[in-house]
Amino acid sequence: MDSHALLAELPRLRRYARALVGERSVADDLVQDTLERAWARHGQWRADGELRTWLFAIMHNLRMDQLRKPRLECVPLDEDVAEVPVRASQSDGMELADLAAALAQLPEEQRAVLLLVTLEDMRYADVASTLGIAVGTVMSRLSRGRERLRQILAGEAPSPHLRVVR
């Protein structure tokens, strides 16, 4: 593993981290931890493997470690129960600030898949190995994530209080 190849991945690692966690300083800390762990474990990297996928997997594992630690500001979001007030948006609904807010409302597991597929253009199989989940799980999280994001941006976010058993 050479530092040139690693540095070449830095912008994309930062972009993904920013989109995943939102706040710039938190995102850059995550990237820094990722680089440090990559060097600490560079013996585990197979030269025939894709460096990017390996780095994203390291970042994912670090992020999971972070989320497992109980923190006061961390509220578990159950996608079916979570009720987040959403400002009614216009029909075009793609203001960037709205998008960032809407993205933040997705459960992280859906957000991660959505970002790896749409922002990173990763194949489903690569997303699966990066996140350590089955391809079928990638597809179901992607489907739910995209649809929920669409609903939030369209002002159609489902509210549990309005859900009626038919």
Q: Interface with another protein by CB under 8 A: which residues?
A: 3, 6-7, 10-12, 14-15, 18-19, 28, 31-32, 35-36, 39-40, 94, 96, 99-100, 103, 114-115, 117-119, 123-124, 139-140, 142-143, 146-147, 149-150, 153-154
Buried b (16+ CB within 10 A) or exposed e, 111-135: bbbbbbbeebebeeebbbbbbebee
Q: Select 75 or 98, whichever has its Cβ closest to another protein.
A: 98
Identify residue 128 by its one-letter amino acid code.
Answer: A
Least distance (Å) between residue 153 CB and another protein: 8
Provide the residue count of the chain.
166
Least distance (Å) between residue 47 CB and another protein: 16
CB-CB contact of 52 with 9 (8 Å): yes
Q: d(Cα 98, Cα 115) in Å, to the nearest integer?
A: 16
Torsion of CA 8, 66, 107, 93, to 10 degrees: -50
Least distance (Å) between residue 162 CB and another protein: 20
Q: Select 63 or 75, whichever has its Cβ closest to another protein.
A: 63
Q: Select 70 or 96, whichever has its Cβ closest to another protein.
A: 96
Q: Select 86 or 139, whichever has its Cβ closest to another protein.
A: 139
Buried b (16+ CB within 10 A) or exposed e, 46-56: eeeeebbbbbb
Least distance (Å) between residue 64 CB and another protein: 20
